[in-house]
Amino acid sequence: MGFPTRSSRYALRELLLLVIAAAASFVFINHENLYLNHPFRLADARIESYLLATIVIYLFLRVAIIALEMRPPQTSDGLVRCPECGQWIDVQSLDGLAAHHRIVLTPKPSSKEIVSAVALRRAVDAARFGTRTPHAEKGNARTPAMPIPENLTGQDLLEALHDPDFVERLRHSPQRPLDRDLKR
């Protein structure tokens, strides 16, 4: 029995679920007949109770089908994610796990690298703001009114550390255009 389209198969499946739900609601409401202690008689119930029971049972069946169709997440054969770095590691033994933990992913910076990074940051701040340190007022975080110079070289930044008037000269130089799309 082949179906011409996918939608007709879907419609037939939903119709079958609805018929099963209607039969289950009939049995649910007339469950006293299952005891076989008296002759068959219908329960004194209105049609709305049958409709409500049909809807509830249909929704239960749909949720059960969705839950049964869910698949567990696929696992990789022999591969496990490291909880610290997130990399896939091949853990066949405890030795492999110990070897992974011996690898240093990011080396710690030396004191020389730290000093040079701090000096560069101070030079950039000095070139931008001069001897004043940029601070935000309480409740009002404003950026300094001076535009940020874009075409400074490393030599300019080093000179700014020793020359406080460098920033004043930059302030009184011609201003760059306010339109960011305009290139020089």
Per-residue pLDDT tens digits for 53-78: 999 999 999 999 999 998 887 765 66
- Give the separation between CA 34 and CA 146, rounded to whole angstroms: 88
CA dist 29 → 63, 83, 119 (Å): 22, 54, 83
Residue 52 in tokens = 């409500």
In the predicted structure, residue 1 carries a pLDDT above the cut 60? no
- Give the separation between CA 147 and CA 149, rounded to whole angstroms: 6
Minimum mean pLDDT among 12-21, 104-113, 138-147: which range? 138-147
The per-residue pLDDT for 139 is: 47
Bridge partners, residue 137, by sequence = 140
Residue 57 in tokens = 């049972």
Compute the C-alpha angle 150/144/159, nearest 5°.
Answer: 50
pTM of the model: 0.40
**88 vs 149: which has the higher pLDDT:** 88
The per-residue pLDDT for 14 is: 93
CA dist 17 → 24, 53, 57 (Å): 10, 14, 9
Residue 154 in tokens = 């490393």
The DSSP secondary-structure symbol of 148 reads P
